[in-house]
Amino acid sequence: MKNAHQMVEAAKAHIKEVSLDQAGDAIKQADFLIDVREADEFREGHIAGAINIPRGLLEFKLSADPALDDRGLNLVIYCKNSGRAALSAQAMKEMGYAHVLSISGGIDAWQAADKPVVKPSLPEFD
60 Cβ contact list (under 8 Å, min separation 6): none
What pLDDT does 7 receive?
Answer: 92
**C-alpha to C-alpha distance for 40 and 18, rounded to whole angstroms:** 25
Torsion angle (degrees, nearest 10) of CA 117, 61, 19, 99: -140
pTM: 0.92
| Superfamily grouping for domain 22-112 | Rhodanese-like domain (3.40.250.10)
Reported as a single tens digit per residue, the pLDDT across 77-105 is: 999 999 999 999 999 999 999 999 999 99
